[in-house]
Amino acid sequence: MMPSEKSLCIVIHDVAPATWDACRWLLDRVTARGPFPVTLLAVPRYHAMPRNAGFERWLCERSRGGDEIALHGFDHLDHGQPATGFDRLRRGFYTRGEGEFAAIDFEAATRRIQAGRTWLAELGLRPAGFVAPAWLLGREAWRALRAQPFLYTCTLRRIHLLGTNRGAAGPRSLVCQSQVYSSSSAWRRSMSVAWNESLAWCQRASPIVRLELHPGDDRPVVSRSWQHLLETQAAVRRVCTLHQVVASFRTDRVPTTP
């Protein structure tokens, strides 16, 4: 893929034994619209649950079939204490207590990232990307992540290129607002459907679009919306993994945003 091509990245979050059935449901709907590669954000110990050999074999099968497996935190739980009222609202209401790397120190972040990498290495998988739960990375978590051999990470509005693309001013980033739904209540579902349809229209000329799905996005009003966006956007864009789109931009000849 050349950087000048418009791309669509389909990303499924919270991939773990507890969400396995829901993730397969999402993948079945994606596959019904084409043999598209998907980025799966895998959680080693989602909500402190034990390993599952069948799930791990399935992850490896998906990787061999062309999907990308990226690391998505360690247990997907926020163990820190909110510093302010806004921080409490963001981490309690917005993320439902799952912003694992929002307020974590360097040593704890390093341990969690390395434990996740070790888990994937045992499965024969070498992740190119790390995406924090809820895309929240505190200052010390950023520092820990930059010391790891990842090629990219993502926040809600950007894809950040790490590793050899890091210059004196820090990692470069690609502007890429995530299309993501909130399915926990009827009013959130209605609002997120309207928001994502408007966002998709605004992003029609953008070089990169991220359609990010979660377990729970099977609610009818939400699933109809994201399947429609998938179908219309895939018709005019090349569908690729996050790693593939990042690889196409890892050159100084392509302008990126500091």
**Stretch (H or E) spanning 87:** helix 85-89
Sequence spans of domains, the chain: 7-249
The pTM (predicted TM-score) of the whole model is: 0.89
Give 161-192 as a DSSP string: E-GGG-BTTB-EEEE--EEE---SSHHHHHHH
pLDDT per residue as tens, the chain (258 positions): 545 689 999 999 999 999 999 999 999 999 999 999 999 999 999 999 999 999 999 999 999 999 999 999 999 997 765 555 545 555 554 555 568 999 899 999 999 999 999 999 999 999 999 999 999 999 999 999 999 999 999 999 999 999 854 443 444 899 999 999 998 889 999 999 999 999 999 999 999 999 999 999 999 999 999 999 999 999 999 999 999 999 988 754 333 333
Closest CA to 69 of 56, 84, 81, 80: 56
Distances (CA, A) of 23 to 27, 75, 110, 224: 6, 17, 28, 16
Closest CA to 52 of 11, 98, 17: 17
Decide if domain 7-249 falls under CATH 3.20.20.370.
yes
